[in-house]
Amino acid sequence: MFRILILLVALLMVEGLKANESTSFHQVKALPGDGIYSLLRRYQLDQFSCNFTKFYELNKLKRNARLIVGRDYQLPILIYTFNGKTIRSSIGVNDWDLAVTIQTYNEEMLTAQLRETSFKTNKVLWVPYHLLNCRDKQLDIASPVENNPEEGPGKAGNRNFPIFGKDYAYTPLRSNKLKGKVFYVVGGHGGPDPGAMGRRGDYVLCEDEYAYDVALRLCRNLIAHGATAYMITRDPDDGIRSDKYLKCDTDEVLWGGTKMSYSQKTRLFQRSDIINELYEKHRLQGVVEQTMIVIHVDSRSKKERTDLFFYHFPGNSEGQTIAAALHKKMKQKYKQYRKGGFYHGTVSGRDLHMLRECKPRAVYIELANIRNTFDQQRIILEKNRQLIADWLFEALD
């Protein structure tokens, strides 16, 4: 009889937890600049994958959706009524260490001014979802040894990368000199947005196609030398191409198969949120060096010629350093290969979303003026696209 009573009490406690979980979660408003990752990180929820899963479920959101400023979102923080006695009796557990962890969490939230008052005062106790559901399941990310841009990191021994196209899919490992380093390669625009457009005879040149081709070639170079490299903008059909005139299309997606939004602002946050989530996963692994390369083609007056130029976020020394290294390499190569040796590329700071909102050290590259006849040679000729990718790689090596 005593055993039956114990079982009944335990069942009631479990049912109580389930009922509380299904009806009561802490709710907050999204602040300007908030992404899902930054929001969960603010509440110390970012190191457990089940918190992300629960957040998407609670708010009926797709993975990597953009948050709307001012809108209310439920966080994976369960709300319990503190009975004024103990945390254990309030939530129906006997684990002393768990109770101490919950108390510490609530006190830290109060110190961070994310709670207005102590749970002992208003009787509202916050319990992070993972503490009751995946306490020992922190993000489990494979070591960044060889990254398959099609399938993700950790595919050791697999040197076939379909994203590069059938003629380039096989990517032999030439060295391990970049092993342990992570790169995010972003071809500008894509999907509903072709970016800048130029004309050459009867052909239309779309910025996103040429930026993407150079990005693929750079990514392949990085992987060939042991780096973990992510192609953030992705085209399921267009691998590395040898054509002069690359067909404009709208089927590009983002890492993870995320469809690009028709809203420019949303598209930018989709990119930055994906990169920041990957960045934090690798940071937790202990990866020290993570770099983002954003590749674009500029649009100016038809008469204006430009050389490759580079942006970094104003005041960001790491971004400025890598931009300067890329600029130096280009200057060396132009001196060697261009008649007269003149190179007019520049390095400057600019407050762009991808430089401001993404966590890795970052550089933003403009390859050419897509409207200038001479600059067009730099991107329409395959050998030139490959040389650009090779020279950029040499500076990153």
Query: d(Cα 236, Cα 149) in Å, to the nearest integer?
Result: 12
Whether 174 and 316 share a structural domain = yes
pLDDT at 321: 96
* DSSP assignment of 308-356: -EEEE-TT-HHHHHHHHHHHHHHHHHHHHHSTT------EEE---HHHH
CA 134 to chain centroid? 24
Could you tell me if residue 350 is inside a domain?
A: yes
pLDDT at 17: 41
- The answer as to whether 138 is a domain residue is no
pLDDT of residue 146: 37
Domain final residue, candidates 75, 105, 133: 133
| Token duo for residue 188 | 């500008």
Contact 67, 36 (CB under 8 A): yes
Looking at the fold, whether 205 and 327 belong to one and the same domain comes out as yes
> With the C-alpha atoms ordered 167, 173, 174, 177, is the resulting torsion angle positive or negative?
positive
| Pairwise CA distance, residues 375 & 309, whole Å | 13
For residue 57, is pLDDT > 60? yes
Same domain assignment for residues 245 and 280: yes
pLDDT of residue 137: 45
In this structure, the answer to whether residues 254 and 319 fall within a common structural domain is yes
| Residue bearing tokens 């103990």 | 86
Answer yes or no: is 141 within a domain. no
Query: In the predicted model, is pLDDT for residue 72 greater than 90?
Result: yes
Q: What is the CATH number of the domain that holds 251?
A: 3.40.630.40
| Residue 142, in any domain of the structure | no
Instruction: For the chain, give the mean pLDDT.
Output: 87
Whether 126 contacts 115, CB under 8 Å = yes
pLDDT tens, residue by residue, 174-230: 898 999 999 999 999 999 999 999 999 999 999 999 999 999 999 999 999 999 999
Task: Identify whether 2 is part of a domain.
Answer: no
Q: Domain boundary at 107, 133, 159, which?
A: 133
Q: What is the mean pLDDT of residues 13-35?
A: 65
Same domain, 296 and 169: yes
Q: What is the pTM of this model?
A: 0.65
In a domain, 170, yes or no: yes
Q: Which domain holds residue 113?
A: 7-133
Same domain? 226 vs 85: no
106 and 183 part of one domain: no
Q: Which of 100, 133, 166 is the last residue of a domain?
A: 133
pLDDT at residue 31, rounded to an integer: 87
Check whether residue 312 and residue 179 sit in a common domain.
yes
- Per-residue pLDDT band for 155 (boundaries 50, 70, 90) equals very low
Same domain? 57 vs 180: no
Say whether both 276 and 381 belong to one domain.
yes
Q: Are residues 70 and 187 in the same domain?
A: no
Query: What pLDDT score does 219 carry?
Result: 97
Percentage of the chain modeled with pLDDT above 70: 88
**For residue 172, is it within any domain?**
yes
How much is the pLDDT for 9? 38
Residues 122 and 191 in one domain: no
pLDDT in tens, 74-96: 999 999 999 999 999 999 988 88
Residue 148 has pLDDT above 80, yes or no: no
63 versus 364: the higher-pLDDT residue is 364
- pLDDT grade, residue 136 (50/70/90)? low
Choose the weakest-confidence range: 60-69, 174-183, 275-284.
Answer: 60-69
CB atoms within 10 A of CB 23: 9
**Range from 41-50, 151-160, 269-278 that averages highest in pLDDT:** 269-278
What domain count does the chain have?
Answer: 2
User: How many other CB atoms sit within 10 Å of the CB of residue 300?
Assistant: 16
Question: Is position 274 within any domain?
Answer: yes
CB 149 within 8 A of CB 231: yes
Does the structure show a pLDDT above 70 at 282? yes
Which residue matches tokens 């959706």? 65
Closest C-alpha among 95, 116, 132 to residue 17: 132
Run of H or E residues at 280:
helix 264-285
